[in-house]
C-alpha cells in the first residue's frame, strides 16, 4: 500500500494524478477462508481490519452483495457521539469515540472526523433535569458533557429559534464537545484499503444466499459466486440481519424498518455544530459541501426497501423549519432511505449464537455509524477468541430472554419506538 501523505500528493500532482495505485484489489473468492465476514459496510470492513491488526488473522473474506459502503454506512447523517446514560452503553460508545479520534492516522485515510460538538436540545424543565443527570453519568463514565443554557445555545447556533414563543421552546441543552460528524464513505474506503493492505479479500457483487451448518457448527456460505468454506462466519449486514438469521433458522428480536434522510441545496457555512432534538425528533448538521443534512423518525412500518414515503419527509422538514425558520427558503435537493435493524431494546446485538462459529453484529437502530470502530473492535475480538470483549458481553443475544435488556429510553419491546 502506498502511504498517502503530502509527498505522495505532490508527486502525483506532478504526473497529473494519473498514477495513483488502486486503493484495494478485487480478488476472486478462494474456496476457503479462516473467517468470512458478510457485509462490507463500516462494521464488516472494520471487523476484518481489526481481526488482521489486533488478532493476526489475515485469511479473511468480506462478502458484499452490492458495492462496499453502499448500505447504511453510505446513507446515514454521520453523527458521531457517546452521550448515553446507561453505563453498559456509555463505556462502549466512549471507547468507539476514542477510536474515532485516531482513525484517520491509524488508517492513513482522512475520514474528515470533525469534532464540532453535538447538542441535544431540552424543551422542558424536566428534560433539563434529565440531561443534567445524563451529563453527570457520562462524565462519571469518563466521557465529556456540558449543560448549556439557552443563551449559550443561541451563541453556538444563531439561526436556531431560541425565543420564548418558539413552538418548542428551548430550555437548555446537553453538549458533547467531542462529538461531531465524519465523512461516511471515507470510513468504508479507509477500512477497506487498510484491511486489503493486510491481506483481506474484499469481494463485491457477491450475495450470500445460504449458510452451511452441520451438527450445530457453521462450515461455510452459499453465494451468487459459488460456495465458500469457513469455520467462522460473522454477519454485519445492518437491516438484513433478520434475513441472514433466517438462513440459520433463527428468529431475532429485530425488525427491519426504513429510515430516511435528506439534504438541502448547498449554502455558505451557517451551522458549525450538530443540533438534535429528541422531543421534536429531528437532527441537523451542515456538510462540508454546504448541504444541510437532516433526518428524523422512521417511517414506522416494516420495510426492506431503501426508500420511504412522503409523509415522513414532510414531517422532518417541518420540524427543521420550526426550529430554524430561515431554512424555509432552501430547496430540498435529495432524499434517500436505508434499512434499519431496529432491536427490541434499542441496543445492538454483538454476540455469539447457538450455532458454533456463527456471530451476529446487528440491531443498530438509529445509531450504528458512530459505533463503527468500537463495534468492529469488539466484534473482531469476539470472533477471534470465541468470547465477547469486556465491552460487548452485555450486548449478547440471550439478554432478552434473561431479562437484561439495555433500554436507554425505557420504550419497551416495540422496535419502532427506540
Partner 1 sequence: MLEIKCPWCGPRAQTEFSYAGDATLTRPSLDTATETEWYEHVYLRGNPRGPHDELWHHAAGCRRFVKVRRDVTTHEIIATAGPHEHLGGGGK
Ligand X SMILES: Cc1cc2nc3c(=O)[nH]c(=O)nc-3n(C[C@H](O)[C@H](O)[C@H](O)COP(=O)(O)OP(=O)(O)OC[C@H]3O[C@@H](n4cnc5c(N)ncnc54)[C@H](O)[C@@H]3O)c2cc1C
Binding positions for ligand X, rule: CB under 6 A: 38-44, 63-66, 70-73, 75-79, 207-208, 236-238, 240, 244, 259-261, 295, 338, 340, 364, 366-370
3-state secondary structure of 14: helix
For the bound state, the minimum distance from the C-beta of residue 345 to partner 1, rounded and expressed in Å, comes to 9
The three cell numbers of residue 390 are 469486556
Pairing status of strand 274-277 against strand 282-286 = antiparallel
Q: Nearest distance from residue 47's CB to ligand X, in Å?
A: 9
Q: Which is nearer to partner 1, 199 or 413 (CB)?
A: 413
CB of 285 to partner 1, least distance (A): 28
Residue 242: name its binding partner from partner 1, ligand X, none (Cβ under 5 to 8 Å by kind): partner 1
Task: Report the half-sphere exposure of 87 (CA within 13 A, side-chain side).
Answer: 4
The DSSP 8-state label assigned to residue 268 in this structure reads: S
CA distances from 235 to 172, 353, 386 (A): 40, 11, 14
Contact with partner 1 (CB under 8 A) among 230, 252, 360, 378:
252
Q: Which of 91, 340 has the CB closer to partner 1?
A: 340
User: How far is Cα 202 from Cα 29, in angstroms, rounded to an integer?
Assistant: 9
- Residue 410 touches partner 1, criterion: CB under 8 A: no
2, HSE (Cβ side, Cα atoms, 13 Å): 13
Interaction between residue 195 and partner 1 (CB under 8 A): no
Q: What are the distances in angstroms from CA 307 to CA 290, 334, 335, 350, 394?
A: 24, 12, 9, 27, 32
Distance CA 269, CA 285 (A): 10
Count of C-beta atoms within a 10 Å radius of residue 269 = 8
Q: Which is nearer to partner 1, 152 or 297 (CB)?
A: 297
User: Among residues 58, 110, 302, 322, which is the contact residue for partner 1, using CB under 8 A?
Assistant: 302
R_g (Cα) of the chain, nearest Å? 21
Contact between 209 and partner 1 per CB under 8 A: no
Nearest residue (CB) to ligand X, 295 versus 373: 295
Interacting partner of 179 out of partner 1, ligand X, none (Cβ under 5 to 8 A depending on kind): none
User: According to CB under 8 A, which one of 2, 205, 224, 246 is a site residue for partner 1?
Assistant: 246
The answer to the question of residue 303 lying near partner 1 (CB under 8 A) is: yes
Q: Annotate each residue in 361-400 with x if it binds partner 1 (CB under 8 A) or - if it does not, as one string.
A: ---------------------------------------x
* 414: partner contacted, choices ligand X, partner 1, none (Cβ within 5-8 A by kind): partner 1
Please check whether residue 52 is in contact with residue 195, taking contact to mean a CB–CB distance below 8 angstroms. Answer: yes
Q: Which does 251 bind (CB under 5 to 8 A by kind): partner 1, ligand X, none?
A: partner 1
Choice from 254, 340, 349, 383 touching partner 1 (CB under 8 A): 254
Q: Which residue has the cell 446485538?
A: 349
311 interacts with, out of ligand X, partner 1, none, CB within 5 to 8 A per kind:
partner 1
The single-letter DSSP state of residue 169 is -
CB–CB of 64/221 below 8 Å?
no
Binding to partner 1 by residue 243, rule CB under 8 A?
Answer: yes
Phi and psi of 11, rounded to 5°?
-60, -45
Among residues 44, 74, 179, 242, which is the contact residue for partner 1, using CB under 8 A? 242
C-alpha distances out from residue 214 to 164, 218, 242, 248, 337, Å = 65, 6, 21, 11, 37
Fill in the per-residue mask, 332 to 361: x = in contact with partner 1 (CB under 8 A), - = not in contact: ------------x-----------------
- Contacts with partner 1 in 134-193 (CB under 8 A)? none
Min dist CB 204 to ligand X, Å, is: 9
Q: Which residue number, 160 or 298, has a Cβ lying nearer to partner 1? A: 298
Alpha-carbon distance of 82 to 78, in angstroms, equals: 13
Buried b (16+ CB within 10 A) or exposed e, 118-129: bbbbbbeeebbe
- Residue 309 CA, chain-centre distance (Å), reads 22
Q: Which of partner 1, ligand X, none lies near 360, with the C-beta cut-off 5 to 8 A by kind?
A: none
Report yes or no: 365 and 341 within 8 Å, Cβ to Cβ. yes
Residues engaged in binding partner 1 (CB under 8 A): 240, 242-243, 246, 251-256, 300-305, 309-311, 344, 400-401, 413-416
Amino acid at each position: 500500500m502506498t502511504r498517502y501523505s503530502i509527498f505522495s500528493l505532490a508527486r502525483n500532482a506532478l504526473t497529473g494524478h494519473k498514477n495513483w495505485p488502486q486503493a484495494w484489489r478485487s480478488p476472486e473468492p478462494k474456496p476457503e477462508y479462516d473467517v468470512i465476514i458478510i457485509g462490507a459496510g463500516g462494521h464488516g470492513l472494520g471487523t476484518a481490519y481489526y481481526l488482521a491488526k489486533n488478532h493476526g488473522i489475515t485469511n479473511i473474506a468480506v462478502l458484499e452483495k452490492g458495492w462496499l459502503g453502499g448500505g447504511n454506512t453510505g446513507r446515514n447523517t454521520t453523527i458521531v457521539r457517546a452521550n448515553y446514560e446507561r453505563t453498559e452503553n456509555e463505556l462502549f460508545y466512549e471507547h468507539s469515540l476514542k477510536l474515532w479520534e485516531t482513525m484517520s492516522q491509524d488508517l492513513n485515510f482522512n475520514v474528515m472526523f470533525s469534532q464540532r460538538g453535538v447538542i441535544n436540545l431540552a424543551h422542558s424543565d424536566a428534560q433539563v433535569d434529565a440531561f443534567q443527570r445524563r451529563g453527570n453519568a457520562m462524565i462519571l463514565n469518563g466521557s465529556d458533557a456540558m449543560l448549556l443554557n439557552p443563551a449559550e445555545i443561541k451563541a453556538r447556533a444563531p439561526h436556531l429559534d431560541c425565543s420564548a414563543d418558539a413552538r418548542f421552546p428551548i430550555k437548555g441543552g446537553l453538549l458533547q464537545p467531542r462529538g461531531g460528524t465524519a465523512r461516511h464513505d471515507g470510513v468504508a474506503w479507509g477500512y477497506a484499503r487498510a484491511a486489503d493492505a493486510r491481506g483481506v479479500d474484499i469481494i463485491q457483487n457477491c450475495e450470500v444466499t445460504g449458510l452451511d451448518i452441520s451438527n450445530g457448527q457453521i462450515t461455510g456460505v452459499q453465494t451468487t459466486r459459488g460456495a465458500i468454506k469457513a469455520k467462522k462466519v460473522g454477519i454485519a449486514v445492518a437491516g438484513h440481519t433478520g434475513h441472514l438469521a433466517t438462513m440459520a433458522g433463527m428468529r431475532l428480536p429485530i425488525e427491519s424498518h426504513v429510515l430516511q434522510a435528506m439534504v438541502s441545496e448547498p449554502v455558505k457555512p451557517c451551522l458549525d455544530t450538530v443540533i438534535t432534538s429528541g422531543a421534536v425528533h429531528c437532527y441537523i448538521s451542515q456538510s462540508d459541501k454546504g448541504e444541510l443534512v437532516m433526518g428524523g423518525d422512521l417511517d414506522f412500518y416494516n420495510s426492506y426497501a431503501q426508500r420511504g414515503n412522503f409523509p415522513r419527509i414532510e414531517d422532518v422538514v417541518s420540524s427543521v423549519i420550526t426550529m430554524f425558520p430561515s431554512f424555509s427558503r432552501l430547496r430540498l435537493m435529495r432524499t434517500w432511505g436505508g434499512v434499519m435493524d431496529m432491536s427490541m431494546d434499542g441496543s445492538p446485538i454483538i454476540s455469539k449464537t447457538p450455532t458454533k462459529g456463527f456471530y451476529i453484529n446487528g440491531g443498530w437502530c438509529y445509531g450504528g455509524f458512530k459505533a463503527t470502530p468500537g463495534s468492529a473492535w469488539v466484534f473482531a475480538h469476539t470472533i477471534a477468541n470465541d468470547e465477547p470483549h469486556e465491552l460487548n458481553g452485555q450486548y449478547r443475544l440471550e439478554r432478552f430472554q434473561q431479562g437484561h435488556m439495555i433500554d436507554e429510553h425505557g420504550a419497551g419491546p416495540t422496535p419502532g419506538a427506540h
